């Protein structure tokens, strides 16, 4: 019998702790499939964030380091400088990357640090219970914007991919979504491309993945996918923001 | 090997290179700027890597990554910058990563000043960041000693998988003295089988981590680290006792201040006062038993702690002397350095009161 579907070698057997309907599981799988397909698992060091994906080190079946909140790009820099021939990636959420870790991601990108970042944007803090993220949309209700995000009080949602695409050190920046099969396939292609950019030594690569948080959005998983498509994509347009030759 | 005349900061940087440090991540702050500048020039010559990070926060997290990948790595800063590094230092201690951190202390609190001080003693020896942990804190008093302690500091860090701090000050960093680099007596060190080197084809995967969400697991982890600290206390205490035999009064001082005290002891002798010095070289682990022993001696009437602070190490001296003899304190702060004459006056004043 031919096996047509199996768990990627780059994932451990540990069951995910993620909430029902959360898209972290999908993105973990995509990253793992890419590590398998490029045959780089045995030379990869991943860096886990603080946030919902804090236990990523238990799921990715490669060497892993757990970083302080927002510091994954700095930790990855230290690793990559010591091990230039290895593959180094960070997996970070929107609070980690776009709030507390803004300086670290901007400077890793502008140094052209030859690492790959998988950036999960679900417009909310998940682990701590649904507070406003820097990427929370205007009007979006969260634990800390109970009347909806008001730009006069809380400013505007941050478009990280567009921002990082302006930097010379960024080699490849793409925003994707995982709200349906078609987009999941595209997301995988982007993640693969990002790792290939690193393997080619071209510089900093990042894939921003628009994701859902049904629990903290207060929706069913299906409603959440629809909400992402209707509300997030108009503010966070999909596509390649930057690609060097 | 011949001696060379070097500035403290540059000698410390060169010592790290000689100890095999090939990664340095820093951020400018006075009075330690010669260390990153020296590293920027020297690292490419030895095939190493220097990065000027975007902040002290980032620099210490680069140290975390590099140490976790198995490298010998160092960062340096001065007081306000060390405060910024505390988050990372706590994670490094929690994940049990070896590295060397240099603090060329300047006056605080806040932005403070840029002149020498010893006001980071509490921060260095009592943890500094959050959680139950300790750094091995080495307090050199000469540039030669700083060089020797940096070289051995890397070995101590690797042996115990714990961060080591060199606690200097602006004077030590800026002055010049003749030094030689002796790397002949190195320790036998365990291989870094725990490092995330990305070659999981040859071994099971490694995880560098300080998160233990299960309370029992975290308690076990903290207790295991604590047992390591007990071993460090047993094996690594260093202290210099100077002129303590028959001393009427023993002065406790470390680093730059201890040099001033040594000259005060000579002056006191000329005036008929027999004063000694206990100079902790390891500030953590603190040489508690040395103080205990001298406090038992009949001829010792009192202790005086002299610091460039309002009194930090004096608390450890008092805990060690444990009420057996009176412990006095004299300090200057803000970048002001204790003057020998003033310390001598303090000694005389104490002697008058205890001899009554």
* A208 in Cβ contact with A239 (< 8 Å): no
Mutate to test the interface with A, among B52, B61, B201 (most CBs of A within 10 A): B61
Instruction: Give the number of beta-carbon pairs within 8 Å between A and B.
Output: 132
In Å, how far is A19's CA from the nearest CA of chain B? 18
* A65 in Cβ contact with A96 (< 8 Å): no
pLDDT per residue as tens digits for the range B297-345 = 999 999 999 999 999 999 999 999 999 999 999 999 999 999 999 999 9
* B55 in Cβ contact with A101 (< 8 Å): no
Categorize the per-residue pLDDT at B184 as very low, low, confident or very high, splitting at 50, 70 and 90: confident
What is the C-alpha separation between A89 and B150, in angstroms, rounded? 32
Categorize the per-residue pLDDT at B186 as very low, low, confident or very high, splitting at 50, 70 and 90: confident
B95–A75 C-beta distance less than 8 A: no
pLDDT at B199: 86
On whether any CB of chain B is under 8 Å from the CB of A76, the answer is yes
Report the percent of chain B where pLDDT is more than 90: 96
A71–B23 C-beta distance less than 8 A: no
In Å, how far is A33's CA from the nearest CA of chain B? 17
B200–A79 C-beta distance less than 8 A: no
B69–A82 C-beta distance less than 8 A: yes
What is the C-alpha separation between A25 and A22, in angstroms, rounded? 7
In which region does residue A205 sit, left (phi positive, over 0), alpha (psi from -120 to 50) or beta (all else)? beta
pLDDT per residue as tens digits for the range B243-273 = 999 999 999 999 999 999 999 999 999 999 9
The question of ipTM being above 0.90 is answered as yes
Average pLDDT over residues B29-46: 98
* Overall pTM > 0.95: yes
How confident is chain A (245 residues) per 10-residue block, as mean pLDDT? 92 96 98 98 98 98 98 98 98 98 98 98 97 98 98 97 98 98 98 98 98 98 98 98 95
What is the C-alpha separation between B33 and B81, in angstroms, rounded? 12
Mean pLDDT of the residues in chain B: 97
User: Would you state the structure tokens that stand for residue A199, as one six-digit string?
Assistant: 């393997």
Residue B350's Cβ-count burial label (10 Å; 0-12, 13-18, 19+) is buried
Sheet of A239-243: strand order equals: A239-243, A170-177, A204-210, A116-121, A87-93, A44-48, A63-66, B207-208
**Closest to A83 measured CA to CA, from B159, B162, B190, B195:** B195
pLDDT at B22: 98
**Which runs of E-coded beta strand occur in B180-285?**
207-208, 239-242, 249-252, 275-280, 282-284
What is the C-alpha separation between B326 and B185, in angstroms, rounded? 40
pLDDT per residue as tens digits for the range B107-166 = 999 999 999 999 999 999 998 999 999 999 999 999 999 999 999 999 999 999 999 999
Helical (H) or strand (E) element with B169: strand B163-169
Categorize the per-residue pLDDT at B183 as very low, low, confident or very high, splitting at 50, 70 and 90: confident
On whether any CB of chain B is under 8 Å from the CB of A45, the answer is yes
How many Cβ atoms from other residues are within 10 Å of residue A139's Cβ?
12
A44–B65 C-beta distance less than 8 A: no
Which residue of chain B comes nearest to A82, CA vs CA?
B66
pLDDT at B1: 64
Mutate to test the interface with B, among A48, A50, A54, A82 (most CBs of B within 10 A): A82
What is the C-alpha separation between B21 and B40, in angstroms, rounded? 13
Domains, chain B, ranges and CATH? 4-235 (3.40.50.970), 240-355 (3.40.50.920)
Which residue of chain B comes nearest to A44, CA vs CA?
B198
Contacts of B247 (CB under 8 A, 6+ apart): B274, B275, B276, B299, B300
State the DSSP string of B86-135: HHHHHHHHHTT--EEEEEEEB--STT--SSB--TTHHHHHS-SSSSS---
CA quadruple A215, B214, A101, A112: dihedral sign: negative
Domains, chain A, ranges and CATH? 24-243 (3.40.50.970)
What is the C-alpha separation between B12 and B42, in angstroms, rounded? 12
Mutate to test the interface with A, among B69, B74, B204 (most CBs of A within 10 A): B69
* A91 in Cβ contact with A31 (< 8 Å): yes
Which residue of chain B comes nearest to A50, CA vs CA?
B211
Which residue of chain A comes nearest to B211, CA vs CA?
A66
């Amino acid at each position: 019998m031919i096996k047509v579907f199996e768990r990627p070698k780059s994932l451990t057997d540990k069951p995910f702790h993620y909430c029902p309907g959360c898209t972290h599981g999908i993105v973990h799988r995509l990253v793992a499939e890419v590590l398998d397909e490029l045959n780089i698992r045995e030379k990869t060091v991943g860096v886990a964030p603080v946030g919902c994906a804090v236990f990523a080190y238990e799921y990715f079946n490669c060497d892993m380091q757990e970083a302080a909140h927002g510091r994954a790009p700095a930790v990855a820099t230290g690793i990559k400088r010591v091990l230039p021939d290895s593959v180094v990636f960070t997996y970070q959420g929107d609070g980690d990357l776009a709030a507390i870790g803004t300086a670290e991601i901007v400077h890793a990108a502008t140094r052209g640090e030859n690492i790959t970042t998988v950036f999960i944007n679900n417009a909310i803090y998940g682990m701590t219970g649904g507070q406003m993220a820097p990427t929370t949309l205007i009007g979006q209700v969260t634990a800390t914007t109970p009347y909806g995000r008001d730009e006069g009080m809380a400013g505007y949602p941050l478009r990280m991919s567009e921002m990082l695409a302006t930097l010379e050190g960024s080699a490849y920046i793409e925003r994707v979504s995982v709200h349906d099969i078609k987009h999941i396939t595209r997301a995988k292609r982007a993640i693969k491309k990002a790792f290939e950019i690193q393997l080619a030594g071209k510089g900093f690569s990042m894939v921003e993945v628009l994701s859902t948080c049904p629990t903290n959005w207060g929706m069913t998983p299906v409603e959440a996918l629809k909400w992402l498509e209707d509300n997030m994509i108009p503010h966070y347009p999909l596509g390649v923001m930057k690609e060097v030759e | 090997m011949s001696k060379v005349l070097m500035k403290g900061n540059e000698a410390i940087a060169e010592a790290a290179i000689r100890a095999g440090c090939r990664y340095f991540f820093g951020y400018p702050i006075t009075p330690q700027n010669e260390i990153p500048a020296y590293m920027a020039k020297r690292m490419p010559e030895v095939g190493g890597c220097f990065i000027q990070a975007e902040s002290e926060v980032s620099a210490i997290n680069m140290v975390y990554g590099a140490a976790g990948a198995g490298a010998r790595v160092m960062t340096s800063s001065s007081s306000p910058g060390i405060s910024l590094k505390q988050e990372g230092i706590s994670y490094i201690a929690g994940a049990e990563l070896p590295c060397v951190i240099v603090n060329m202390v300047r006056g605080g609190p806040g932005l403070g000043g840029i002149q020498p001080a010893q006001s980071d003693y509490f921060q260095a020896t009592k943890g500094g960041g959050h959680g139950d942990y300790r750094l091995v804190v080495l307090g050199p008093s000469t540039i030669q000693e700083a060089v020797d302690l940096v070289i051995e500091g890397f070995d101590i860090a690797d042996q115990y998988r714990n961060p080591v701090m060199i606690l200097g000050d602006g004077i030590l960093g800026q002055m010049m003295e003749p030094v030689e680099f002796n790397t002949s007596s190195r320790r036998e060190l365990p291989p870094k089988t725990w490092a995330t080197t990305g070659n999981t084809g040859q071994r099971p995967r490694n995880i560098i981590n300080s998160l233990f969400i299960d309370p029992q697991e975290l308690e076990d982890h903290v207790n295991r680290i604590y047992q390591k600290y007990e071993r460090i206390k047993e094996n690594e205490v260093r202290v210099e006792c100077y002129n303590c035999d028959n001393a009427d009064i023993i002065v406790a001082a470390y680093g730059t201040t201890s040099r001033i005290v040594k000259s005060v002891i000579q002056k006191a002798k000329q005036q008929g006062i027999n004063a000694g010095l206990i100079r902790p070289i390891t500030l953590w682990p603190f040489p508690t038993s040395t103080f205990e022993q001298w406090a038992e001696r009949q001829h010792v009437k009192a202790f005086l702690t002299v610091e460039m602070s309002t009194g930090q190490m004096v608390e450890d001296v008092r805990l060690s002397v444990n009420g057996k003899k009176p412990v006095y304190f004299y300090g200057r702060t803000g970048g002001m350095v204790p003057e020998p004459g003033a310390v001598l006056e303090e000694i005389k004043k104490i002697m008058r009161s205890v001899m009554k």
